[in-house]
């Protein structure tokens, strides 16, 4: 046992050694690939398709960043992480960028020493129950068995919600979404709780999605966003403005279809600055002038990514809701490119 | 004329450090310890530097912060408002519970299988060989997950227990085998002497210990009678009376009552809930370690010379008396030392609990707490220290037992 203490200390020391190296931007450029942490599989957000190619909303974020930095949306090494391994993977330098439905909270930002670069999905925690159970409200779940992913904010929200409503429950801790799905479908738990988007994505993969309902209560705010390590401001800027570029592109009407045409110059100076024909914003980030263009071409602008992966025409069928542009009553907004 | 000449004094040369066997071992040891110290220094220094670079400090204060998460299996009072330290303690108790149950069942299984594998009955010995080789040669993790899958997928759902469902409770409606675990009746003390139920159980335990003390007295007396007269008095009913009557009487006074599990709302309530995770982990650990113990027991028995059993038979002892009075006491000396390592293995293997979501100390302190607080280094060190202390305690206790069963040379 003495050895294992030493070993764990060594592992942590070794991992930390990776983190303390030079700027992440230089590391990624030198390596030629971006190490991107994603989920172990949540259809619509990040999951490998039939050919083993990762796709999804979070994957699109990784590809856009890789395209901005390296010019190639496929120069990404996807690292599947669980709710409880993701932070260690990022803190240790195993991954450069974590895009895994991660809720932006105070303690994660301040105490865990991470830097959230923005919010790419406004979510909230919901409950899914089998229709046959006849439950219509989360408040009726007194005494229910609840499947819950460990190491997530949902675990804490769940405890708070049941305590504040003075009802009891039996938690069944699970490690991955796949495990939760299996336990839920086997009836080992009455309800499965996680982010409402995750529930919708999970339900879409069921044999009979209509046999399951999402309860109306959304018990928490879950602003999901990608994050990087605290302290490397250059890298955080690159990641933040790549996300902002995707949002700005939607706002300015730049899509993957018309971007080639717009890149030749337009009458709108902000589009010109975004696409690099004016202003030299790319150089300020330490990237080429076509960084944002590459990022947008990787998978389209924010709206295109949304519609293609999780939008209403996909099996997951999420409405834009809070995630509509601010001009359309949503919360998606970016500071100006100036 | 003879003169006594001192042997010529050879002055010390540096090369002696390598070529002189008197000094060589010291040289090697010094170099090795310098390397070791340098290695440790590098590790510690690296850790401190990198913690500083990440802006993290080394602090155990998180143990007093509220944990915020719930734990399903609690042996002591715990709510989500309790501290991370309490959560760790709940996890520690769960680890101890599964390790204790596991060691117990593994020993029973192992000794039975080990003895039976030497049986003259071909079918029995082959069956035991299949058990031992089957469990010994497949990774433990697979058995844990297999048993978990069997429980969740194979057993009846709760809804099938509702009116009109096709599943029912067994054993006179007292036990429910569901895919959420097994619900068994519990004993409750309606009007105990003490305020808390734990204290009441402690009272019962003390009474039981006292009874056991008297049972030992009875046994000692019958030993003495046997020494004197050669006839052992029949005392089993006395022992039974001493053991059962006082505890039974006090339990009746305390208003002990069986509480049966009952389907209410979403789940069975009342009774004791043996969760799938506990069952899967417990059975898999026991079956797996039991297979190793079976081999140790078999080796121990085979190590006893055949002459011993032949002599016992010649004295007219029946085979089962031969095993229990002649073979096993001698075999124990061979069995116990490797048995200790099996107990340690089982205890440490219980950290595979994470695979089925059993909330042991690895899952609470080493899992959720680390994840919520970001204190990986502190958490892992505490976890390592806990397993170290636990393992040393087990091996210390077993060594005491080992010394008592050793051959007493006079």
Q: How far is B37 from chain A (nearest CA, A)?
A: 13
pLDDT digits (tens, 9 = 90+) for A248-269: 999 999 999 999 999 888 899 9
Of B54, B179, B381, the CB nearest to A19: B54
Helix (H, G, I), strand (E, B) or coil at A230: coil
Question: Would you place residue A27 in the very low, low, confident or very high pLDDT band (cuts 50, 70, 90)?
Answer: very high
CA distance B390 to B218: 35
Which value does ipTM take for this structure? 0.78
> Using the beta-carbon criterion (under 8 Å), do B384 and A145 form an inter-chain contact?
no
Structure token pair of residue A72: 């190639």
* pLDDT for position A284: 93
Q: Could you tell me the fold of the domain covering A125-220?
A: D-Maltodextrin-Binding Protein; domain 2 (3.40.190)
Structure token pair of residue A274: 């975004």
A23-122+224-328 and A125-220 share one fold? yes
In this prediction, residues B101-121 reach a mean pLDDT of 93
Is residue B143 predicted with pLDDT exceeding 90?
A: yes
Is residue B41 predicted with pLDDT exceeding 70?
A: yes
Q: How far is A16 from chain B (nearest CA, A)?
A: 6
Answer whether A150 touches B (CB < 8 Å): yes
Structure token pair of residue B407: 């051959």
> A150: which chain B residues are within 8 Å (Cβ-Cβ)?
357, 363, 367-368, 371
* pLDDT for position B3: 63
Give residues with Cβ within 8 angstroms of B247, minimum separation 6. Answer: B204, B207, B208, B211
Give residues with Cβ within 8 angstroms of B282, minimum separation 6. Answer: B98, B101, B102, B105
What's domain A23-122+224-328's architecture? 3-Layer(aba) Sandwich (3.40)
H-helix or E-strand spanning residue A80: strand A76-80
Question: Would you place residue A16 in the very low, low, confident or very high pLDDT band (cuts 50, 70, 90)?
Answer: very low
* pLDDT for position B280: 94
Is residue B152 predicted with pLDDT exceeding 70?
A: yes
> A231: which chain B residues are within 8 Å (Cβ-Cβ)?
53-55
∠ Cα A298 A82 A236 (to 5°): 50
pLDDT digits (tens, 9 = 90+) for A197-242: 989 989 988 999 999 999 998 999 999 999 999 889 999 999 999 9
Answer whether B50 touches A (CB < 8 Å): yes
The label of the residue with tokens 């803190």 reads A91
Answer whether B69 touches A (CB < 8 Å): yes
- In a mutational test of the B interface, the residue from A115, A177, A186 whose CB has the highest number of chain B CBs within 10 Å is A186
The residue ranking higher by pLDDT, B190 or A304, is A304
Structure token pair of residue A105: 């909270």
Is residue A19 predicted with pLDDT exceeding 60?
A: no
**Are the C-beta atoms of residues A34 and A69 closer than 8 Å to each other?**
yes
Nearest by Cα to A325 from A217, A242, A253:
A253
Of A4, A17, A91, the CB nearest to B384: A4
Answer whether A30 touches B (CB < 8 Å): no
CA distance B152 to B285: 18
pLDDT digits (tens, 9 = 90+) for A64-111: 999 999 999 999 999 999 888 899 899 889 999 999 989 999 989 988
- Average pLDDT over all residues of chain B: 88
Nearest by Cα to A233 from A241, A245, A225, A243:
A241
Helix (H, G, I), strand (E, B) or coil at B256: strand
Answer whether B374 touches A (CB < 8 Å): yes
∠ Cα A291 A296 A302 (to 5°): 130
Q: What is the pTM of this model?
A: 0.81
Of B265, B359, B391, the CB nearest to A143: B265
* pLDDT for position A1: 42
The label of the residue with tokens 């505490």 reads B382
Answer whether B48 touches A (CB < 8 Å): no
- Rounded to 10°, the helix A24-31/A233-252 angle is 80
pLDDT digits (tens, 9 = 90+) for A269-278: 999 999 988 8
CA distance B42 to B49: 10
CA distance A111 to A87: 12
Question: How do beta strands A76-80 and A34-38 pair?
Answer: parallel
**Are the C-beta atoms of residues B380 and B365 closer than 8 Å to each other?**
no
CA distance A302 to A312: 15
> B80: which chain A residues are within 8 Å (Cβ-Cβ)?
156, 159-160, 163
Answer whether B65 touches A (CB < 8 Å): no
Helix (H, G, I), strand (E, B) or coil at A36: strand
Domain borders along chain A are 23-122+224-328, 125-220
Q: DSSP letter at A23? A: -
Is residue B8 predicted with pLDDT exceeding 70?
A: no
pLDDT digits (tens, 9 = 90+) for B222-271: 889 988 888 888 888 888 898 888 888 888 888 888 888 888 888 888 88
**Are the C-beta atoms of residues B331 and B309 closer than 8 Å to each other?**
no
Is residue B354 predicted with pLDDT exceeding 70?
A: yes
Q: What count of other Cβ atoms lies within 10 Å of the Cβ of residue A201?
A: 29
Answer whether B53 touches A (CB < 8 Å): yes
∠ Cα B223 B228 B229 (to 5°): 100
* pLDDT for position A14: 46
- Binding-face residues of B in 375-394 toward A, CB within 8 A: 376-377, 380-381, 383-385, 387-388, 391-392
In this prediction, residues A316-338 reach a mean pLDDT of 92
pLDDT digits (tens, 9 = 90+) for A142-179: 989 999 988 788 899 999 999 999 999 999 999 888 88
Q: What count of other Cβ atoms lies within 10 Å of the Cβ of residue B24?
A: 13
CA distance A111 to B101: 39
Nearest by Cα to B246 from B210, B297, B202:
B210
- Rounded to 10°, the helix A233-252/A57-70 angle is 110
> Using the beta-carbon criterion (under 8 Å), do B388 and A5 form an inter-chain contact?
yes
């Amino acid at each position: 046992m003495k050895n294992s203490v030493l070993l764990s200390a060594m592992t942590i020391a070794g991992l930390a050694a990776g983190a303390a190296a030079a700027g992440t931007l230089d590391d990624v450029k030198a390596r030629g690939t971006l190490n991107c942490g994603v989920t172990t599989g949540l259809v619509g957000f990040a999951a490998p398709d039939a050919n083993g190619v990762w796709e999804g909303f979070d994957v699109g974020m990784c590809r856009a960043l890789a395209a901005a930095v390296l010019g190639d949306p496929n120069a990404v090494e996807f690292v599947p992480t669980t709710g409880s391994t993701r932070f260690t993977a990022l803190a240790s330098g195993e991954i450069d960028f974590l895009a895994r439905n991660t809720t932006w909270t105070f303690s994660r930002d301040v105490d865990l020493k991470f830097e959230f670069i923005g919010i790419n999905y406004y979510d909230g925690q919901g409950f899914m129950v089998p229709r046959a159970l006849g439950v219509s409200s989360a408040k009726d779940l007194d005494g229910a068995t609840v499947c819950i992913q460990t190491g997530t904010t949902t675990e804490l929200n769940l405890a708070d919600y049941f305590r504040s409503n003075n009802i009891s429950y039996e938690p069944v801790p699970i490690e991955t979404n796949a495990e939760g799905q299996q336990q839920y479908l086997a009836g080992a738990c009455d309800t499965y709780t996680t982010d409402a988007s995750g529930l919708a994505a999970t339900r879409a993969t069921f044999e009979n999605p209509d046999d399951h309902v999402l309860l109306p209560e959304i018990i928490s705010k879950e602003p999901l966003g990608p994050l990087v390590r605290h302290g490397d401001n250059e890298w955080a800027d690159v990641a933040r403005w790549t996300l902002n570029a995707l949002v700005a592109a939607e706002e300015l009407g730049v899509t993957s279809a018309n971007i080639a045409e717009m890149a030749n110059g337009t009458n709108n100076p902000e589009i010109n600055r975004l696409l690099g024909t004016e202003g030299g914003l790319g150089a300020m980030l330490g990237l080429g002038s076509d960084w944002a263009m590459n990022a947008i071409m990787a998978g389209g602008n924010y709206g295109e990514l949304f519609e293609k992966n999780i939008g209403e025409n996909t099996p997951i069928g999420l409405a834009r809701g809070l995630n509509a542009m601010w001009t359309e009553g949503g919360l998606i907004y970016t500071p100006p490119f100036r | 004329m003879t003169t006594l000449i001192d042997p010529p004094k050879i002055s010390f040369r540096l090369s002696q450090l390598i070529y002189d066997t008197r000094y060589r071992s010291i040289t090697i040891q010094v170099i090795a310890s310098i390397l070791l110290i340098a290695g440790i220094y590098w590790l510690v220094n690296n850790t401190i530097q990198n913690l500083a670079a990440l802006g993290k400090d080394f602090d155990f204060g998180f143990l007093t912060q509220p944990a915020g998460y719930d734990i399903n299996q609690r042996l002591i009072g715990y709510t989500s408002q309790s501290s991370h330290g309490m959560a760790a303690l709940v996890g520690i108790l769960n680890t101890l519970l599964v390790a204790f149950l596991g060691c117990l069942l593994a020993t029973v299984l192992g000794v039975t299988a080990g003895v039976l594998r030497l049986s003259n009955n071909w079918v029995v010995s082959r069956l035991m060989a299949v058990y031992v080789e089957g469990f010994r040669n497949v990774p433990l993790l697979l058995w844990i997950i297999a048993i978990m899958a069997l429980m969740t997928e194979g057993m009846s759902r709760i809804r099938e227990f509702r009116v009109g469902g096709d599943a029912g409770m067994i054993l006179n409606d007292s036990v429910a085998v569901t895919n959420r675990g097994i619900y068994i009746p519990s004993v409750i003390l309606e009007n105990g002497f003490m305020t808390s139920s734990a204290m009441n159980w402690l009272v019962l335990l003390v009474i039981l210990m006292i009874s056991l003390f008297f049972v030992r007295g009875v046994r000692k007396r019958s030993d003495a009678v046997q020494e004197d007269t050669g006839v052992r008095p029949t005392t089993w009913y006395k022992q039974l009376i001493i053991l059962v009557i006082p505890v039974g009487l006090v339990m009746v006074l305390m208003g002990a009552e069986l509480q049966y599990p009952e389907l209410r709302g979403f789940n069975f309530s009342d009774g004791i809930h043996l969760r799938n995770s506990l069952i899967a982990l417990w059975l898999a650990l026991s079956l797996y370690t039991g297979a190793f113990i079976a081999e140790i027991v078999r080796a121990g028995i085979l190590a006893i010379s055949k002459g011993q059993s032949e002599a016992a038979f010649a004295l007219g002892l029946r085979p089962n008396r031969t095993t229990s009075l002649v073979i096993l006491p001698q075999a124990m000396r061979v069995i116990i030392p490797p048995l200790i390592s099996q107990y340690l293995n089982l205890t440490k293997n219980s950290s595979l609990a994470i695979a089925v979501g059993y909330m042991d100390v690895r899952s609470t302190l080493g899992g959720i707490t680390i994840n919520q607080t970001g204190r990986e280094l502190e958490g892992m060190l505490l976890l390592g220290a806990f397993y170290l202390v636990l393992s040393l305690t087990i091996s210390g206790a077993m060594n005491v037992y080992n010394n008592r069963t050793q051959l007493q040379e006079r």
